[in-house]
Structure 1
C-alpha cells in the first residue's frame, strides 16, 4: 500500500511532438513513415487564405501522395461537418488525416477520424472513453497558439440542433504527431492572438487547480502560466516578433499537455455552453469568465492560486491575502489585450442564463473543478459576468 505522502497514481499521455520554426516542412516524411497514401487534409477557408494549408498540400503532392481537401470547418466545428467529412473520407478511401489550422480544424479532423473508424454518429462518441476503435493516423499542424488540440485527448464539437457543445475525451483522440511551428502564428490577427492566448492561460489555470492534477501536469501548467503572462502581451504588441511568438507557442503547448492529462474546470464548462448557444469564439468566452471563476474557486485551492499569481507576477503574496492580487494580474492582462469585460459584449442576455447554466452543469469539465458548483452557483456567476 502507498505510504503517507506518496504520489497518487496518474497516467500521462502525449503525442510525438516536433517543435520549432519551419518544422511543418517535415510533414511529408512523417506521412510516409505512417504509410499514408491518400491523405485527407482538414482545414478552414481562413487558413487556406493565409497559405498554410495549401503549402502543406503542395508538400504532400510533391511526394506523389494523393490529397483530398476538406476545408468546410466552421470556427466552432459542427457535428454535421464532422459527419460530412467522415463520409467523404470513407468514399475517397483515405488512410490518414492531416489537420492544419486552429482548434476547430484539429478537433474536426480528430472527430472525422474517430467516426470513420467506428462507423458511428459523432454524438455517440460523447463522453469519456466512448471511442471503441482507434482512429486512423492523424498529424496536426496548429496555426494558433491557444487551443492545443494538437496535443490533447479532447475534441469539442457543436450539436447545432441542441445549441450545445459536447466533448469527446479519449486517448483515441490523441494525434500521432504534432508539428508545432511558431511561424504559422505570424498571420494571426491581434484579436485572435489575444483570444487564443487567453484560452491557453485558462488551460494552464484550470489544469493546475484541477482535482486530477499531478506533479507532471503541475510542472507544465506553472511554466505555461509564466511564459504566457510574460510573452502574450509582447506578441500582441509585436506581432512580427518570431522569438515572442515562439515563447507563446511553447506556453500554449505546455498548457495543452497539462489540461489533456489533468482536465479542466468551470471556466471551460461555462465557455462550452456559451460557444454552443451563441457560436462565440471559445477564447473570448474564457477571457470573460476566468477572473470570476478564480474568485469562486479560490477558497478551495488558495495555495495553488497563489502559485499561479507568483508565476504571473514573479512574486508570491502572503498567505493572509485572498484572490485580489491574482484577479488584478488577470485584469491587467485582459486590459492590455483590449478585451472588453462583460458577457453582454458577446451577446449574452439575462434570459439566456438559465439555458446556459443547465448545459454548463452537465459539462464533463465540471467534474474536476476544485469546488463543487450547483446550477444556482453557475447562474450567479453568469449574472456577475454580464
Structure 2
C-alpha cells in the first residue's frame, strides 16, 4: 500500500497572476528574489494585490539560502499577524519562504498563515514539493527540510514571468527538471502515478527546452517548460529522488556550481552507474534500473531493443541535449580546479551517501563508487 497526497491548488496559464487579486484585508509577507525588485518585475506582480492588504517585502535572498536568511525573514514581519507568505522567485526564494513558514509556525508566530508560491524559473518544482534545502554556511553543508507541512497551498504558474529568463539559466533549470523526472522514474519508491507525471515531464523537456533556450520569447515553449517543472516536482514529491541529487547537494556546497548545471554534468554518469554499465563485462547489468532507462529511451523514440542499448541511447540523448544547450559536460570544463576536486571528493562522497535523496536510488552506492562517479564527472 502507498499514499498519494496532492495538496497544492494550481493556477496555470496566461493571466494566472489575477489569483492575487482575490486576496483582500490580509497581512502578507512577500519573500522574493532581489533581482525582481531591482528589475521592477516585483512591483508589477504586486500590483495585482488589492490595496486593502498590509504588505511587507523581504528580498535578502541569496543562492543556497542559509539559516540566517530564514531567521531574518521571519523577523522582517515584525509583530504583524501574517496570514499569507507569498514567495516569488526561483528555488532559493521558495525554499527560504518554506523554511520561514515552517519555523514560524512551530513558534506560533504565523500560526494561521497560508503559503502561496509563484515560480519565476522553470526548474525546481518547489511550488508543489515538501522539500526545502537550507545551508549551514559555516559548515558548508546543505540540509533538506522534508515535511508535508511546507507544501504550498497555492501555486501560480504564469509563463509571462519567465520570458526574460537568460538562456543559461533556462538551460540549467531545464536540466534540473529532467533530473527530477529521471530520478523519480527509477526511484525505488516509484508508483504508477509518479511514472505518469515523470514520463510527461521528460517528453516536454526534450521537445520544448531547446526551443525555450533558443528563443526566450517562445511563449508556448516557456509555458510547456513551466508545466514540465511542476509535473516533475509532483513526481519526485511522491517518489523522491536519487544519487544524482545526493551528489549534487554535497558537491554544490563545495564547488558552487549552479544546481541544475551540476545535475546535468552528473546525469550521464549516474545513468550508467545505476544501470551498472560503467565496467562492461565485470558485473551483470542492473536489469531493473536498465529496463526503466530503456523505457525512457523508447518514450523518446529510440529503438532501445534491449536494456543495455536503451541505456546507451538515453545517455546519447542527454549528450545531444547538452550540446543543444551549450552546457559544460564535466566539472573541469565548468572550472572546478583539480586541487579543489582532490580536496573535497572524499568528503562529498560521504555526504552524498548520507543525503536522504540517495535512500531511494535504484542502486546502493559505496563511498568508493561515488568517488569514481565524481572522477568520471571531473574527466580525470
Mapped to 1, the partners of 2:143 and 2:111 lie a distance apart of 20
Mapped to 2, the partners of 1:216 and 1:135 lie a distance apart of 31
Alpha-carbon distance change, 301 to 138 in structure 1, aligned in 2, over 3 angstroms = same
Matched, 1:94 2:82: yes
* 1:127 corresponding residue in structure 2: none
Matched, 1:58 2:35: no
* 1:321 corresponding residue in structure 2: 308
Shift of 1:76: 1.5
* 2:261 corresponding residue in structure 1: 284
Q: How does 1:1-386 map to 2 (within 5 A)?
A: 8-29=1-22, 31-32=23-24, 37-60=26-49, 62-89=50-77, 91-119=79-107, 136-298=113-275, 299=286, 300-311=288-299, 313-319=300-306, 321-322=308-309, 323-344=311-332, 345-347=334-336, 349-386=341-378
Mapped to 2, the partners of 1:90 and 1:110 lie a distance apart of 18
Deviation sequence 1:348-368 (CA, Å, 0-9, x none): 522210121121111100100
Mapped to 1, the partners of 2:308 and 2:289 lie a distance apart of 13
Mapped to 1, the partners of 2:40 and 2:349 lie a distance apart of 40
Alpha-carbon distance change, 107 to 320 in structure 1, aligned in 2, over 3 angstroms = closer
Shift of 1:58: 2.6
Contact 1:301 1:370 (8 Å CA) reproduced: yes
Range with greater deviation from structure 2 (318-327 or 291-300)? 318-327
Alpha-carbon distance change, 280 to 92 in structure 1, aligned in 2, over 3 angstroms = farther
Mapped to 1, the partners of 2:255 and 2:21 lie a distance apart of 38
Equivalent position SS for 2:48: helix
Mapped to 1, the partners of 2:56 and 2:362 lie a distance apart of 44
Mapped to 2, the partners of 1:346 and 1:221 lie a distance apart of 32
Equivalent position SS for 1:321: helix
Equivalent position SS for 1:141: strand
Mapped to 2, the partners of 1:375 and 1:214 lie a distance apart of 29
Shift of 1:90: 5.0
Q: How many matched pairs?
A: 361
Mapped to 2, the partners of 1:116 and 1:157 lie a distance apart of 15
Contact 2:248 2:259 (8 Å CA) reproduced: yes
Deviation sequence 1:24-58 (CA, Å, 0-9, x none): 122131x34xxx62100001111223433222323
Mapped to 2, the partners of 1:261 and 1:363 lie a distance apart of 17
Contact 2:104 2:111 (8 Å CA) reproduced: no
Shift of 1:316: 3.8
Alpha-carbon distance change, 346 to 200 in structure 1, aligned in 2, over 3 angstroms = farther
* 1:128 corresponding residue in structure 2: none
C-alpha RMSD of matched pairs (Å): 1.8
Mapped to 2, the partners of 1:245 and 1:41 lie a distance apart of 25
Mapped to 2, the partners of 1:93 and 1:45 lie a distance apart of 24
Mapped to 1, the partners of 2:64 and 2:21 lie a distance apart of 28
Mapped to 1, the partners of 2:307 and 2:352 lie a distance apart of 32
Mapped to 2, the partners of 1:316 and 1:134 lie a distance apart of 54
Shift of 1:379: 1.1
Range with greater deviation from structure 2 (46-55 or 212-221)? 46-55
Contact 1:44 1:73 (8 Å CA) reproduced: yes
Contact 2:291 2:307 (8 Å CA) reproduced: no
* TM-score (norm. length: structure 2): 0.91
Task: Name stretches of at least 5 consecutive residues in structure 1 with no aligned partner.
Answer: 1-7, 121-132
